[in-house]
Amino acid sequence: MSLPPVSFQPFDGSSVCLFCGASETADPAYTEAAYAFGRATAQAGWRLVYGGGGVGLMGASARGAHEAGGRVVGIMPAFLRSRERLFDEVETVVVTSMHERKQLMYDQSDAFVVAPGGIGTLEEVVELLSWKRLDLHHKPVVFLNLNGFWDGFFALMRHSVDEGMTPPSFLDAWTVADTVEEALALIQSPDAAPAQKHDLR
């Protein structure tokens, strides 16, 4: 598949990437929080970078930012255009693969917030944290842990540490927010992205 070269409209401010689910059957409280997060980013002057879909938490976050007058850029693989339905009212670029989507989301963002989502969201944040583990970036990663959604993931990471598979310092690779307001405050904090202290190999 051949697509035109990707280009983005100029933007001089800070950008936050939201990883979240596209499910239409999620708890409505999660969808409402995604909308509120999008609106809050716009009010704070941040550009919202997201997966480009118009459904689920993804679509809600983009609508929240757009309706509040904020800048939004969606990045969507071509094969998902019908499934996740492009939100055409905002800037959207279409790419050839999931890998390209994730790389561009990373390149276009200064910070990351992880809201509730499914296997796709989990895959995105695990790769992002793996890059952080390898010192490939020091950008803030904040989990929006609504109703304890991510507690099981945190327990798995602690188990990996307890079993000697991961250094204890890795548990400092992210921060946790229980509300949209806390998440936005954390990505704006100068201490949001401490450098990792890695074990010697």
Note the Cα 161 to chain centre separation in Å: 24
Give me the domains of the chain, ranges plus CATH numbers. 15-187 (3.40.50.450)
- What residue type is assigned to position 174 of the chain? W
Tens-place pLDDT, residues 83-139: 656 777 899 999 999 999 999 999 999 999 999 999 999 999 999 999 999 999 999
User: What is this structure's pTM?
Assistant: 0.91
What digits encode the pLDDT tens for the residues 15-63? 999 999 999 999 999 999 999 999 999 999 999 999 998 899 999 999 9
d(CA 184, CA 177) in angstroms, rounded, equals 9
- Using alpha carbons, select from 147, 110, 141, 138 the residue that is nearest to residue 124: 141
Q: Is the pLDDT of residue 193 over 80?
A: no
Please provide the size of the chain in residues: 201
User: pLDDT confidence of 6, banded at 50, 70, 90?
Assistant: confident
